[in-house]
Structure 1
Amino acid sequence: MAANTNKGFGLLFEMGCGKTRTAIAIAGAAYEKGAIQRVLVIAPTSVVSVWPKEIAEVADFKVTCKALLGTKQQRIRMIEDLQAFPFKALKVAVINYESTWRDGLFEKLQEYDADLIICDESQRIKTHDAEQSKAIHKLGDQARYKLILSGTPVQNDAIDIWSQYRFLDASIFGRNFYQFRNRYAIMGGFNRKQIVGYKDLDGLIRKEHSIAFRITKEEAIDLPEQTFIKRKVQLGKKEKDLYNQIKRSSYAELSNGDKITATTVLTRLLRLQQLAGGFLVTDDSDKPELVNTAKLDALQDIIEDYVLGAGKKLVIFARFIPEVTAIMKMIDKTFQKTGKKQVAIYGAIKKEDRGPIIKQFQEDPDTVIIVGQIDTLGVGVTLTAADTCVYYSKNFNYATYEQSLSRIHRIGQRNTCTYIDLETEGTVDEMIGKALARKEDMAKTVVDDWRAYFE
């Protein structure tokens, strides 16, 4: 089928409603019918490494998938490896939005010539004149088929939809942004250059949904009451080498020690967990230093999409005070000029001050995030104004974790609850997650199993 025949469709599913798996099923069905051979998935950086794992878990067709991470040359080499793959299988390349328009990579993606391009969280191309958006429009013009995945295709302004549909199917809203704006926006302000309102939004929505399918959590009656999502993040090479160095030295110290105790093992695991969260505590300092922002960046992605985009409230749990502080600083920066607010509860917040903070989060529509230490915020409070919470980090105690799950999943909650675990790949984060999934208290098992954490 020739290019530019406008074979595009939108999966406008809220978080937790299965848009990734639906997209994989669509790609698989198209491959089995002989319609496609090569897929390009464009996703937020924090989601790039999730796609290969989802594909491996659910695909019942032959597929080879590469997450294009690393240096530019490493990414180009992975595309070339996909192109040269000698066996019959669906070829899938996954790349982050920011890399698509870089010199060398853009040309290589054009050469890859994907039959199907999937834009995950497509609101990332909402700005019509951004270099990133224009590059993806060009790639879309070349592709035979296109999908956009988003729970929030329109974030703050109705005009956000134009760029996404320019990629998806230019026949819906046209190829000229200003004609689209003149059709649906009411201009005013200084020199009539500001959008002060909209017109014919019903017509806009009808056109949008003519090639899209919308699902909300309320409509997805088969969803379980609680949905668990893992977002994998990666340390940089320098931090990964440092992590492995600390792990090796911990193993050596424990092996040469007279007696292994839970305290000695857990102390060393704490240092590894702090590094997995991006913080390094050096031997000559008590103050942790932020050395990697992978988790913070992944959390910011969620806040931009879910809170600012979908207009939802969010609970964020973290274990360590430096993490809480860094999260709050990031949120302050993200919320600039939005009118949105955050609150926080951690060990230093007096008990008599916590009730008003909870009340503010529950009742004030502009207070959209509450951040807290899991030991402090995770017990005995009601946070049902949110139906989603993010675990930046967890502690080792299953009872505390179980209690924290119930902050949003309790009487008064009307929606399916979603829990997002941020796990740094190849670190103690994954071991903590597995232990809690088995309902284990690590403090009770680390003495017998300590080698597994440091080998």
Structure 2
Amino acid sequence: MRYRPHNYQTQATGFILDHHEAAILLGMGLGKSVITLTAIWELLLDYFTVSRVLIVAPLRVARDTWPTEAAKWDHLEGLSVAVAVGTKQDRLDALAKSAMVTVINRENIPWLVSYYGDSWPFDMVVIDELSSFKNHRAKRFTALVKMRPHVKRWVGLTGTPASNGLMDIWAQFRLLDGGERLGRFITRYRDRWFLPDKRNGMQVFTYKPREGAEDVIYDAIADMTLSMRTIDHLTLPDLTVTTTPVVLGDKERAVYEQLKADLVVDLDGQVVDAANAAALSGKLLQLASGAIYDEHGNTVEVHGAKLDALEDILEAANGQSVLVAYWFKHDLARIHQRFPDARELKTSADIEAWNLGNIPLGLIHPASAGHGLNLQAGGHLLVWFSLTWSLELYQQTNARLYRQGQAEPVTITHLAATGTLDQAVLGALEAKDMTQAALIDAVTTELSTTLRKESSCM
């Protein structure tokens, strides 16, 4: 396929070429894969400034999206790609190819670093979904940061760098620039720009930025950061976000309120207890969805109100494909039981079948299918059966359908049990988005007047 880049894509590719350390904060659907592969092709085969490139991505994105994109575009001809996922032997076989570009899932980074050690062959590293490296204690972070002396170029790609606040971005930029802009140590970053927020005695749970700190942080990373919002550069179809209230019966409401008050409830001899407030949150969200795990891990079904609401939505869809996001395993089992034709999108074959319109009811878990998968060809209706606290997973899952290439107006529907924690989760997601938007907007790079005029003339 011939590549006809948008002006913003040309600018983003140029930014990668011009910066040895680049944070590319692209809105969902802006084509970050082809933007980055174009820069890689030029660096490898035009400028000869790098020799081997490693791309780190979520498993399904590493396995399906990156190799597909590399093979899709005519201008990337000559770029050899190996995918190092799967069994150890599969990974070793991929590495043995010494391809120009090697793609690996992030879980295998510690293994890869251990395998190569000081013989690390990759002089350019691209991290797809950079926000998955926000935990500085995670093995993937501590392993990859050791390889900094061997790497000349770093690129981080994400649309959600600060889904839970500005504390998230330290590890991401520490990996990209070695700590030049935000400091080499998390404690100094925290002490300089943050104050304790939520705490219990001496134990601090969260931090909030000091007055004026946000602007200073934004300025510190601005020179290596390119930020673009989808709404500024793409004309997407209309988006409707709605919430369908799900009303619990008196019996189910009583169970919910008892668990909320006592942290324990007896359901016909099966005891369900929540050891602490965090566990209670999970239990209450389970109850809101209709089932809960007892003390032995068995599923106890409490109500089918959300299943009934989903059935109404499917009937109203009148044969159009519907994508359903679920959070709990018992959600998946109960949806399958009520709708035997439902199919979980797990494999490449599942995704292909969905995009061909052969799956009327597709099921995805945000943690495994929230990043990078192109599902817009298969439908335009998304239903959140159960919700997640993670703004990142929420936004990324929505972007599976609401992205470039979507031809139909998109509708995203939340099934929210009234008077339950479902409503608090929706409120929390909205509140977190304010922090995320502040970061994105602060470093948003607008196209030059010349590019805008050129675009208007096309």
Taking structure 2 as the reference length, what is the TM-score of the superposition?
A: 0.50
Evaluate the alpha carbon distance shift between residue 94 and residue 109 of structure 1 in structure 2; reply closer, same or farther with a 3 A threshold: farther
Change (3 A) 1:107 1:291: farther
Distance 1:205 1:157, change over 3 A: same
**CA distance in structure 2 between the partners assigned to 1:62 and 1:355 by the alignment:** 45
Residue equivalent to 1:195: 206
Question: Partner letter of residue 157 of structure 2?
Answer: L
1:1-21 deviations in whole A, cap 9, x for unaligned? xxxxx9210110010112222
Q: Secondary structure at the match of 2:230?
A: coil
Evaluate the alpha carbon distance shift between residue 23 and residue 304 of structure 1 in structure 2; reply closer, same or farther with a 3 A threshold: closer
Distance 2:344 2:91 in 1: 21
Matched, 1:62 2:62: no
Q: Does the C-alpha gap of structure 1 residues 223 and 290 become closer, same or farther in structure 2, counting only changes over 3 Å?
A: closer
- 1:180 deviates by 0.8
Structure-2 residue corresponding to 1:36: 50
Rounded Cα–Cα distance in structure 1 between residues aligned with 2:339 and 2:364: 22
Question: Which residue, 71, 92, 96 being the options, matches 1:76?
Answer: 92
Question: Does the aligned pair in 2 maintain the 1:76–1:105 contact within 8 Å?
Answer: no
Question: For the structure 1 residues 44 and 126, does the alpha-carbon distance in structure 2 shift closer, same or farther, using more than 3 Å as the test?
Answer: same
Provide Cα deviations, 1:384-442, integer angstroms capped at 9, x if missing partner.
xxxxxxxxxxxxxxxxxxxxxxxxxxxxxxxxxxxxxxxxxxxxxxxxxxxxxxxxxxx
The equivalent residue for 2:346 is 294
Equivalences for residues 145-294 of structure 1 within 5 A: 145-170=153-178, 171-188=180-197, 189=199, 190-191=201-202, 193-199=204-210, 200-220=213-233, 222-225=234-237, 294=346
Report the CA distance shift for 1:301/1:185 in structure 2 as closer, same or farther (over 3 A): farther
The answer to whether the aligner puts 1:8 opposite 2:41 as a matched pair is no
CA distance in 2: counterparts of 1:179 and 1:57, whole angstroms: 45
Equivalent residues in 2 for 1:117-128 (5 A)? 117-128=125-136
For residue 82 of structure 2, what is the amino acid of its counterpart? K
Q: Are the equivalent residues in 2 in contact too, given 1:116–1:144 (CA < 8 A)?
A: yes
CA distance in 1, matches of 2:389, 2:414: 24
Shift of 1:108: 3.4
Query: What's the counterpart of residue 100 of structure 1?
Result: 109
| Equivalent position of 2:139 in the other structure | 131
Determine which of 426, 437, 445 is the counterpart of 1:367.
Answer: 426
Kept in 2, the 8 Å contact 1:123–1:154? The answer is: yes
Percent of paired sites with the same residue: 20
Q: Is the 8 A contact 1:152 1:305 kept in 2?
A: no
Deviation at 1:286, TM superposition (A): 10
1:128 to partner: Cα distance: 1.0
Q: Give the aligned partner of residue 67 of structure 2.
A: 52
Equivalent position SS for 1:27? helix
Task: Find the aligned partners of 1:226 and 1:29 in 2 and give their Cα distance.
Answer: 36
Label 1:149 to 1:304 Cα distance change in 2 as closer, same or farther (>3 A): closer
Q: Which amino acid aligns with 1:67?
A: V
Distance 1:336 1:62, change over 3 A: closer
SS in 1 for 2:174: helix
Give the match for residue 114 of structure 1: 122
Q: 1:226 to 1:10 in 2, by over 3 A?
A: farther
Contact 1:79–1:108 under 8 Å retained in 2? no
Paired AA for residue 33 in structure 1: Y
1:293–1:217 Cα change, 3 Å: closer
Relative distance call for 1:207 and 1:356 in structure 2 (3 A) is closer
Residues 338-378 of structure 1 show CA distances to partners (whole Å, capped at 9, x for unaligned) of: 9x9xxxxxxxxxxxxx9997999xxx785389xxxxxxxxx
C-alpha displacement of 1:187: 1.9
Structure 1: runs of 5 or more not aligned: 1-5, 86-90, 228-277, 280-284, 307-314, 319-323, 341-353, 370-455
* Distance (Å, rounded) in 1 between the aligned partners of 2:346 and 2:122: 29
Q: Is the CA contact 2:83–2:104 (under 8 Å) kept in the aligned structure 1?
A: yes
Query: Comparing 186-195 with 41-50, which one deviates more in the overlay?
Result: 186-195
Alpha-carbon separation, structure 2, partners of 1:20 and 1:174:
29
Structure 2 distance, partners of 1:355, 1:191, is: 38
Partner of 1:143: 151
Q: Which amino acid aligns with 1:143?
A: V
Question: How large is the Cα RMSD of the aligned pairs?
Answer: 4.6
In the alignment of these two chains, the number of paired residues is 271
Whole-angstrom CA distance in 1 between matches of 2:143 and 2:414: 49
Assess, with a 3 A threshold, how the Cα gap between structure 1 residues 39 and 110 changes in structure 2: closer, same or farther.
farther
Corresponding residue of 2:250: none
The alpha-carbon distance between structure 1 residues 110 and 46, as it changes in their structure 2 partners (threshold 3 A), is farther
Displacement of 1:106 in angstroms is 3.7
CA distance in structure 2 between the aligned counterparts of 1:359 and 1:54, rounded to whole angstroms: 43
1:206 to partner: Cα distance: 1.3
Report matched runs for 1:324-363 at 5 Å: 328=386, 331=387, 334-335=388-389
Give the whole-Å Cα distance in 1 for the aligned partners of 2:368 and 2:51.
30
C-alpha distance after superposition, 1:210-244 (max 9, x if no partner): 20100002211x445489xxxxxxxxxxxxxxxxx
Structure 1 residues 337 and 77: CA distance shift in structure 2, 3 A:
closer
From the superposition, tell whether residues 99 and 292 of structure 1 become closer, same or farther in structure 2 (CA, over 3 Å): farther
